[in-house]
Structure 1
């Protein structure tokens, strides 16, 4: 696989040329760098014919290719040599000599941007072009093109997942949503068969109002119906067709709009239109309808509906602004109801605790995915409401909230590091924060690996929510691994020439002064575009100094992976508490773990009706509520960057290609390929229901096909 990157074997396409014997003309022993990067055969001259015809610089580096491989290993550098500053002119020269193949780095770098890959269904294509590059800060950043709504087939028949009663909607909520997004207490009734309405619908104009056989009664059941409508119907003969897709989208949007209308109606005070002066002192009117869940008061249903709509706006509409707005509305209602300091023990205490902490979760999640400041202080001492409880995992909720705090703090660290590089001051403080954040992340990760503590409460079947508790712990590990990537990614890839060239100004280097840093470009991508002045890590507990351990002090740091290539270091990087090798290994381990964890999340398992068509062999239902899909992008970004790191190493440092190192790189590349396939599988499953995630899937697949072409040259 590694040899395929260089294409020095002399293979030439025979299309439109006379067929001649393979290797009739032996390949040259040393090919120029541009020919290696473009995978074309080099003539070996200086300049070669390819470079001469294309008018580009032709340069060579010594290579061991073309002759017998040597068995000796490179001696490992001493700590002093590893820490010694390198000549910036040498670093810049390497960057200039390496030619980026087919815009590969541009495909990878865009994966780290806020909202990377999300399709925006709320904006027509001509309007969205006005905002291109607005969030990234780079006009030429790669974005997935927005697609216009496909036209349904006239007269076609399709099915949409709708339900005929409130109990059936609630049962479907537990089948499809609850284990990923537990806003309600556990079931109080046994699981029933999934009974979506079996009425085929004639596909009509998407702008017309859809026909509803049953209209849900509460804002919460309407919001739940908006998500359920996106899941393919079990009797739909072709759920991937354009007609079926448009119908599901139309019904989901109609349910969401009805939910918003119901929310506004229940939040309005009639007296405000006749006597505004008395409106604030008048108690809110009571809600006159039956509870959707017997242990959840009616006045919480409006708040819970906003939480579901917040995730809907993100995963289906791709609208980060509305995602944060809905979560902000829920926060205002929660504070108005004093859910943040609710300590009473009554029949509704579990419902109120879940309502508060899921509101907290959604507000923080909106800040994470959009890299904007959260609208609350994440460790506010006024938040005294106890955590909810899983009978099968007493610490599950606590770990989830801690993971959310770690991840938003890691996002803040990226923003502050960017500001520090720009101001060329305060690096020592940032290095200390990096150690604190790394220690904090490892501490919470260790909690997730401890066997759950089980409550001694009696088991009432589904009341233990064992699967939901397992999902919450898995989601926590995904978030913590994503925080590790954010904490270490700049250091991990700061030795890649093009990475530094894209993120820093090479001309501002001072090779004789390691205390100075590079001045970032004013309009770069990746790290420079991330800006999230969220909460300060100092507001949380600090790890003891004994926990701060550099890679040279750790006995296990070299066991993460056998080999990851390294390059000359830029002077500003020598002050980091971790080496690039150590940070790259952490990013690799975290990215691979995220790919496994997403794959381990369970699929919905409803009880089907006997007359429903069985699903085809190998087909699965989509998982729902992917509010943390940004972790998929972080994982793919880290894996592609490590792959890119290995690829660049083979082109600019051919002297490392001993048999041992070559085999190690081959194993690394294969591990990355499998990890990326798992990520593509996870995001593809989500995109069966949520259209905004189509863009994420396409972004990752595009970069994957560039890195691993179907028929690579051998």
Structure 2
């Protein structure tokens, strides 16, 4: 047999593959010159950043693994793949040779990656050996000269607080409006004037205080003029790592003690005695502080560390502790009742969020009796909480639907269930959206307009609606865009200049996490949906528009306690923009961005195929793309605000902004 018969198809570039490329060029799939500040980043005004390759080392091909398995005879008892990696069932990046040969297929496939688990997240790691030494250097005794502290240079001021009370006040300003897991205080939180201006001497002794400190230290100091400086980003990252690890250590110590309690069911009675410390919050039992800390750290692992597995693990730990304390069955009305309810519902929302982001089904349903516990959401819940919990549960159901649909398409199995299940889910979402719009006003449920719960309740209502619109996008996206590849191919055939070819030499291991879906198989077009492609496209359009407007109208932190009836930027007058500190809606922004970009591709393809004719219709289509572009800018604005504090979200912001730049490149 001639060796030439097995030649690989030639790559579509004339120059040799580049050996070095910055993160921005890798994400955009363009050639990088490999300089310290590459020409592309200089031209676009972006920061140019390189990271070591995660590739290399001995190649472990599938055939070699299979031979080793056969030779071993299966004697070694290893845990299942899902036990090792909860994301084992998720889509994996495709090799360049396996992708479609057309620019249209490549572009549509890249856009599909915006819906994948952790699309764009950057993994921010720190060796554990460095954390202890950093933590010891942070909290210097008062007798020492604080020359190495944040005040020595005057350039790296960070948010370090002098007491638990100051931390709690900062929680109500920066975290509570978006993540109201603690009951409101009977007083208003003081302003952020309590930020320490000297060497840090106060170390939170409880897990909740440390978890809150890990999040707050990521928010730039109000007097910092350049919060994106690499040195300033690094010092905030180091402090946050140390606080997060110490919070986990404190949780482990706390619940080792809890195991020795004689009556662990009586939490409000045994809390202080078992842990022998003052409560962090006057209305939160000490025994629940670890559950709240783990819920907060789940968000931290996702947004700052970019680690989906640890995000899910922290959420699972929080849920396991909550179930062990029977929080889902707590009906006692005492001073701690509100704290128990909030801890349970926010923990439930966190685990649903982690499962939805990871494209996983709830494995707890397989355990006897737990399914009933996890769905116990309808009684003794205020209307605002009920809508938020049901919206999050619906979003998880939509993620399960898309996962099952993807598996049915890839395996070619029977998908007759799609017709009824999709119709049922859409009807459920429409009913919940109607409840959101006709529910009593927030002022009727939370009368004091200056209460921390007033802003939080308004945000909860908006978050519920955002999640419901996102869920509609998830269940409609395949039906809406199943014909987009064919339309794009026809448009590409008519174009004299093809879309920018993807440089196949770029290693996906060095770019931000970018999960790509394969092109839609041909037999997927034979599926029966209860909606036409045009109907689903219109639903995705309206849902995406609603998501971006609601995201843009979410309140900003209000450190001055000024009452503002509008959703305008509340931190005007400060030198830096304040981030919304709990980025639980990143996946919603990405889903909206994906839908808007796919509609842009569809509109552009229709322009080139001539289906809209000329004159007024063509002008309307151009105006439509302009409207889509403006909405996409709101997506970037939202993600940019989140990324002020969280490093892993820089990649998410860059991923969507570079996709927009490519789609609208003239």
Decide whether the 8 Å contact of 1:328 with 1:375 is kept in 2.
no
In 2, the alpha carbon distance for the partners of 1:300 and 1:353 equals 11
Decide whether the 8 Å contact of 1:495 with 1:570 is kept in 2.
no
Partner of 1:121: 124
Partner of 1:172: 170
Q: CA deviation at 1:424?
A: 3.5
Matched, 1:636 2:593: yes
Partner of 2:388: 400
Partner of 2:45: none
Aligned match for 1:649, one of 603, 606, 612: 606
Q: After superposition, where does 1:342-357 map in structure 2 within 5 Å?
A: 342-357=330-345
Q: 1:421 to 1:105 in 2, by over 3 A?
A: closer
Partner of 2:579: 622
1:558-598 per-position Cα deviation (integer Å, ceiling 9, x unaligned): xxxxxxxxxxx989447322111111111111111111111
Partner of 1:380: 371
State the secondary structure of the residue aligned to 1:411: helix
In 1, the alpha carbon distance for the partners of 2:639 and 2:487 equals 26
Q: After superposition, where does 1:173-212 map in structure 2 within 5 Å?
A: 173-199=171-197, 212=200
Decide whether the 8 Å contact of 2:446 with 2:453 is kept in 1.
no
Q: CA deviation at 1:241?
A: 1.2
Q: After superposition, where does 1:18-417 map in structure 2 within 5 Å?
A: 100=103, 104-122=107-125, 157-199=155-197, 212-269=200-257, 286-377=274-365, 380-382=371-373, 384=376, 394-417=382-405
Q: Which has the higher helix share?
A: 2
Partner of 1:668: 624
State the secondary structure of the residue aligned to 1:465: helix
Under a length normalisation based on structure 2, what TM-score does the superposition of the two structures give? 0.69
* Structure with bigger gyration radius: 1
Partner of 2:640: 684
Deviates more, 1:641-650 or 1:614-623: 614-623
Q: 1:708 to 1:281 in 2, by over 3 A?
A: closer
State the superposition RMSD in angstroms. 3.5
Deviates more, 1:251-260 or 1:682-691: 251-260
Deviates more, 1:475-484 or 1:417-426: 417-426
Q: 1:499 to 1:120 in 2, by over 3 A?
A: farther
In 2, the alpha carbon distance for the partners of 1:327 and 1:98 equals 41
Deviates more, 1:465-474 or 1:371-380: 371-380
Decide whether the 8 Å contact of 1:491 with 1:573 is kept in 2.
no
1:423-454 per-position Cα deviation (integer Å, ceiling 9, x unaligned): 44433211111111111111111111114266
Q: 1:99 to 1:329 in 2, by over 3 A?
A: closer
Unaligned 5+ runs, structure 1: 1-95, 125-151, 201-210, 273-277, 502-523, 531-568
Matched, 1:601 2:599: no
Decide whether the 8 Å contact of 1:410 with 1:483 is kept in 2.
yes
Unaligned 5+ runs, structure 2: 1-98, 128-149, 490-513, 563-570
Aligned match for 1:443, one of 425, 431, 441: 431
In 2, the alpha carbon distance for the partners of 1:167 and 1:498 equals 60
Q: 1:289 to 1:483 in 2, by over 3 A?
A: same
Q: CA deviation at 1:525?
A: 6.7
1:457-478 per-position Cα deviation (integer Å, ceiling 9, x unaligned): 8955645722111101111111
Q: Count how many residue pairs are aligned between Structure 1 and Structure 2.
A: 504
State the secondary structure of the residue aligned to 2:640: helix
Runs of 4+ in 1 over 4 A off after TM superposition: 96-99, 269-272, 278-285, 383-389, 453-464, 498-501, 524-530, 614-619
1:476-515 per-position Cα deviation (integer Å, ceiling 9, x unaligned): 11111111111010011111225999xxxxxxxxxxxxxx
Partner of 2:14: none
In 2, the alpha carbon distance for the partners of 1:281 and 1:575 equals 51
Q: 1:287 to 1:667 in 2, by over 3 A?
A: same
In 1, the alpha carbon distance for the partners of 2:625 and 2:412 equals 36
Q: 1:122 to 1:102 in 2, by over 3 A?
A: same
Q: 1:633 to 1:173 in 2, by over 3 A?
A: same
Q: 1:498 to 1:226 in 2, by over 3 A?
A: farther
Aligned match for 2:655, one of 699, 705, 714: 699
Matched, 1:581 2:534: yes
Aligned match for 1:476, one of 425, 442, 464: 464
Q: 1:427 to 1:372 in 2, by over 3 A?
A: closer
Q: 1:584 to 1:679 in 2, by over 3 A?
A: same
1:267-325 per-position Cα deviation (integer Å, ceiling 9, x unaligned): 124998xxxxx999999971111122211111111111111111100111011111111
Decide whether the 8 Å contact of 1:161 with 1:228 is kept in 2.
yes
In 2, the alpha carbon distance for the partners of 1:164 and 1:636 equals 41
Under a length normalisation based on structure 1, what TM-score does the superposition of the two structures give? 0.65
Q: 1:694 to 1:175 in 2, by over 3 A?
A: same
Partner of 2:66: none
State the secondary structure of the residue aligned to 1:371: coil
Decide whether the 8 Å contact of 1:269 with 1:279 is kept in 2.
no
State the secondary structure of the residue aligned to 1:286: helix
